[in-house]
Structure 1
Amino acid sequence: MITQVLHCPYCQGVNIVKNGKTPQGKQRYQCREQVCEGRTFILNYAYQGQSRKVKQQIVDMALNGSGIRDTARVLHISTSTVIKELKKQTQLQPVNLLMLKQSDCESIVVNICVAKLDLMTIGMESKKR
């Protein structure tokens, strides 16, 4: 008989008990450590977007400037999964707010340029040639 020691992915505790099965038939486990307060987890998720590792990758990619579609394509998950996970993150703030908190607001100068293109003129010039 082989005994497999499971560790909680949240607190790394070993006080783990079985907690039923998912609709897909996978074993669900519950952590009994005081820190986790009975959180449940699955060893192998059917949809990779639910795993803790992929959720951390979503946040890391967002902080590195990757877009929602780019993140979904690279991690092979849905764009709605990426959006839901980013909405949960309280540590993420728009870059402009972080810049404003760190800099002196009186010394910021903003230049606004407005460019107007006449699309009809551009189209006509290409037809003349």
Structure 2
Amino acid sequence: MTVKINSCPNCGSEKVSRNGRTRHGKQNYKCRECGRQFVLNPVWKAITSEQQELMSRMLLERISQAGIARVLQVSEDTVQRYVNAQAVVEKRQVEVSPKPKKRLSVQMDELWSFVDNKGNQQWVWLALDAQTREIVGVQIGDRSAVSARSLWNSMPPVYRQCAVIYTDHWSAYDSVLPSKRHRAVDKDSGCTSYIERFNCTLRQRVSRLVRKSLSFSKKLENHIAAIWRFVHHYNANLQL
């Protein structure tokens, strides 16, 4: 049955039919011209560009998605959709300042995390320039030599050609890094102190990585994107 009601918000047609009820119990309508479904006086409103900008900034802090939804007074579904969309377009390649071909110093380490449950371990492999403090390599995966190789390949060519690399004694590094430029050291040597300090920063700023927290990732793509988002933000602020 066609009813006289407000015109369709999409095409302006007055040929509108009742079409059941929404999950919140409100009367749903459907336009018979364009097929658009709508309700009268909807509570939901699209997030503004200002809210999107604020949401992006809040995602760089130790704030859960539920917390962001409460602060912005939007639904958690809205926040989740925004996070999902951003995960698709997030760059997954390091952006660092140009370096001359000379002796460079890099520190590497791996950070434990998980997605959905603690049985699904995802190790965050990081490489840091000891002079500029920039993150010059990132890999998220298992703790095998395959991930170590991916970390090595993620670094800009100048680092693979010139850098002396300091790591802990994890065996995966030995099978990947050039033996003449690889230095496996103990923590008390201080040669990996910068990357270990960055690991603390990463855990404090990315809520998904905080230990004993309910803000863990449920989707691997979003987990990876959150880490890359903070790495890009961190490197960009170092260059200011």
With the shorter chain as reference, the TM-score category is: 0.3 to 0.5
Query: Larger relative contact order (C-alpha < 8 A, sep ≥ 6)?
Result: 2
